A = this chain, B = another copy of it.
Amino acid sequence: MSSVADPKLLHTLIRKLESIASFSDEESTAIENLPVRVRALNARQDIVRDGDRASQSCLILEGWAYRYKIIDEGKRQIFSFHVAGDIPDLHSLHIPQMDHNLATVTAAVVGFIPHDDLHELTTRFPRIAAVLWRDTLVDAAIFRQWLMSMGRRNAFEHMAHLLCELYLRQEAVGLASEYRCPLPLNQLELADAMGLSNVHVNRTLQDLRGSGMITLSRSTLV
């Protein structure tokens, strides 16, 4: 259930980061030597909770995760979905108090990296700091896309955008190709991500299918 430091573990992360900027051997080694505590988790299981004070961040090694927040009487808003290579709560490195939850979508393997080690890494290697910083900025850019979709697009356009995003994100890390990708989300989760009701999501998906844009049955075809 729990082990330590296998260089291969961090390979996904390094590959993702190196697609932005290439590192020196010293830098790569430093990343590889990060201590990672690995855990296998079941589907739909919380990883970090709203209000927690985090002392480590979570690297997704396998499977999907998502971030969400609940307000009174069970209204849930989902903020993002994450696949292998993502560090969904990297922000807790500088803002330890969580203002939302992080949980698995599917069964997943995740690696926890202590903040102390990340702090040391980023102070020693500004280039690595910059790339991680950049990663959180991409996160923010995606939030802006979602805001755009929620505020000024109808359900049909919004869904189309979301599905494209999820495809492209997976394609970028080699988890999808040929316009086909896994989509382990149910309609309730899509609804909470888009600020819609599950019923309307269902109808919107039918529209998309009807217009020949997608096929779905636990995997997509755009």
B-binding residues in A (CB < 8 A): 69, 71, 75-77, 79, 91, 94-95, 99-100, 122-123, 126-127, 129-130, 133-134, 136-141, 143-144, 146-148, 150-153, 192, 194-195
Contact = CB atoms under 8 A, between A and B. Distances in A.
Which 6 pairs, one residue from A and one from B, show the smallest C-beta to C-beta distance?
A151-B195, A143-B143, A123-B126, A94-B134, A140-B140, A150-B150
28 contacts: A69-B148, A71-B148, A71-B153, A77-B147, A77-B148, A77-B151, A77-B152, A91-B137, A91-B141, A94-B137, A95-B134, A95-B137, A95-B141, A99-B144, A122-B130, A126-B129, A129-B129, A129-B133, A133-B136, A136-B137, A136-B140, A140-B143, A143-B143, A143-B144, A143-B147, A147-B147, A147-B150, A147-B195
A154 to B, nearest CB: 11
Contact of A144 (B69, B122, B152, B153): B69
**Stoichiometry, copies per complex:** 2
B136 A195 contact: no
